[in-house]
Structure 1
Amino acid sequence: MASPVVLCDHAIVLVPNDLGNGCRYGRSRYRAQLVDSSNKSLAEFTFASIEGRSFASRRRHVSTAFATICWFNEIRRQLGAATPTDIQRILEPIDEEYEDPQAVRRRWRDYRSGVHAPAAQTIALSERRCSGTTQILQSPLWDSLRLDRPATQVGLALAGRTCAEGDELLSRMLGSTGGLSNDPRWLKKRCTAVLLVGNLESLGVLTICMRLAGEAKLNRAAAAFYQAATRCLLILGPWLFRHGIARAIGEYYEHVLRPACCPDPLTQSGCFCSSYYLKSIEALDRMKTRVEEERGRALDSSELAHVILTELTLQSG
C-alpha cells in the first residue's frame, strides 16, 4: 500500500467574528494559518474541459486544473509564501540573461489558477524542496474524475494504493473476484473502512466504484457509492478548501458525476448539496478544533475521519 497523502496537518481554522459573516481566518495552538485561496466555482474554470458543457472540446480537463491548484497551494503552504512570485523566487530564480522574467512569473501565476500544468522539471524541482507535492499532483483521484477515461483502467491503477477493503471493492467491481454482495450492510461496512482512511485515494476508490456501478446499471450500488464519496468530500473538506478547490469539486460531484453515474430518481433522496458544502466544512472544522482542544493534541487523518464520520452518522439518525 502506497504512503498516504497527509491531509490533516495545518487544517483551516474558522471561528466566529463580529463582521456578520460568522467566521474569520484564525489560528489555534494546533493549526497554522489558512492558505488564502479563491475556491472558485466550477463555472469559472472556463479554460478547461468539463463533460456535458459547451467548452468540453478544449484540451485541458478540469481535473488537471484541480490537481495543479492543489499542488501549487501545498507548495505555498510548505514554503510559507504569500504570492506566486515569492514561490518562484525561492524555487526558480530567474537568470535574466537566458529567461524572460515576465514569462516565468506568469507561468507560476497560471499554476495558481490551474490554467497550465507544471512540466516534469518543475515538478521535480518542487519535490526536492517541498516533499509530497508530486504525490498530490499525481494522485489517481484526478483520473477517477474524468468520464473520458475508462473507469476500468483507472480502477486497476488504484488497486494497491488504498486499504484492504478498498482493494476488495475495486476487485469486485472490476469483476476479478465476483460481484458485490446483495447485503447492503456488507457494502456499508467496506465503504466506512475506506472513509476512515481519509485521503485522496479513498475518494478516488469510491468515485471509480460509483462509475463502475453506474456503467453496470447497478443503481442502488451507484447511489451508495455516491453517498460514501460525498461523505468523503466532507471528511476531506478542510484540506480541499485550504488547497483551493472545495467549491468547484463539490459542484463537479453534484452536477457532473451524479447525473452521469446515478441518474435514477432514487438517488435524489438525501443527496449531497454543493451549495451548502462550504458551510458544512466550516461547521465540521469548528467541531475538529473543539475535539483537538479537548484532547490536547492535533488529530491525525484517520482520527479526523472517524470524528467527522461519527458526527455525520449522528446527524443522519
Structure 2
Amino acid sequence: MTDVTAPDSNAPAYSVSELAFALKRTLETSYSHVRLRGELSKVTHHSNGHVYLTIKDDKSAIDGVVWKGAVRGLGVRPEHGLEVIVTGKITTYPAGSRYQIVIESMEAAGVGALLAQLERLKARLHAEGLFDAARKRPLPTMPAVVGVITSPTGAVIRDILHRIRDRWPCHVLVWPVVVQGDQAAAQVAGAIRGFNAITPGGATPRPDIIIVARGGGSVEDLWAFNDETLARTVAASEIPLISAVGHETDTTLIDFVSDRRAPTPTAAAEIATPVLGELRALVSDYDRRLNRSGARLIEDRRTRLVSAARGLPRPADLLALAQQRFDIAAGRLDAALGRNTAVHAQALLRVTAR
C-alpha cells in the first residue's frame, strides 16, 4: 500500500505564464497612471530612438523606458543625474519577472534640476568651442534687410519695428513663432534655418542680420532658449545673429553662442541698425573737416611757394647783364653795317668811274 500526501489546499495551481500575466494585468490596471519622482541613472539613448533608463532614490530603483514616439514630447532631455518627475504606467516584462514604468512625459523636478542640467550642457558646448569669441561673426554696419524671429503679437515685435523705423530705413522680415512651450525651440530653430536658406538676390530678400527676441519671464518660461538643438542652430547660422531673450538680468544658452547678446529686444534693434540722422550729421562733419583741411593744405602750399620765391633772384636781374651785352653787340653791328655799306659804295663809284 502506497502512502499519498494530501494536498494542503484545493486551490488550482497556476502555471508560471498564467501567474506572470495575471500580475501584469493587475499592475497595469492598478497603476495605469502614476507620477514618479526620482533621479535618472543608466540613461541609454538607443539607436532605434527609444530611451532606456533607471529612476532611483536613496532606497529603491525602478527601470523605465521612453518609446521613440514619446521622446520628442519630453519636457527635458533625459540625462544621468537629473532629478525628474515622470508620468506613465507600470507594466511588467513576464519573461524576466521584472516590472518597469513606461514613461509618457518627463519634467525637471524644480528649477534647481533645470539649472543643473543647463550647467552641464553649457560646459559641454563650451568645451566644443561654440562660445569662442573668434567664431563670432561681425555685425553689418548698415543692413538693408533685418530678419526678426519672435511672436507676431505682443509688445516685443511692436517695440522692435518702432525702434527700427525711427532709426534706419530698411526692409524688415518677421518670421512668426511661438516663444514658450514645447514647440518653441523647434520653431525658432526652423526659422533660423529658413532665413539662412533664402537665396541672395532672389524674390524674397535675404536678411543681413537676424534678431531672435522674446520678452521677460521665469526660468521655465525662457527654457526653450536653453535647448541644445536650438543653440547649435544659432551657432551654425551663416547670417550674423543677435539674441534678445528676456530682460537684462535674464541669460539663456543662445546668448553664449549668438554673435551678439542684447539686454532687451529694443536694444537689439538699436544694435542691429545705425541712426540715419547721426550718419548724416557725421557725413556733414566729415565734409566740413575735409574742406577745412583742403583749405589749410592749399594755404600751406602757397606760403611755401612764396617763401621759396623769395630765395630766387628776380627775372629782371637775371636778364640785365644779357640785355646789356645784347645792346652793345647791337650797337657794334649797326656801326659795322654802316662802314661796310660805305666801303661797298666807294668800290662801286670806282668801278663806274672807269
Normalization by structure 2: what TM-score? 0.25
**Higher helix share goes to which structure?**
1
**Higher strand share goes to which structure?**
2
Q: Which one has a bigger Cα radius of gyration?
A: 2
Normalization by structure 1: what TM-score? 0.28
Higher relative contact order (CA 8 A, sep 6+): 1
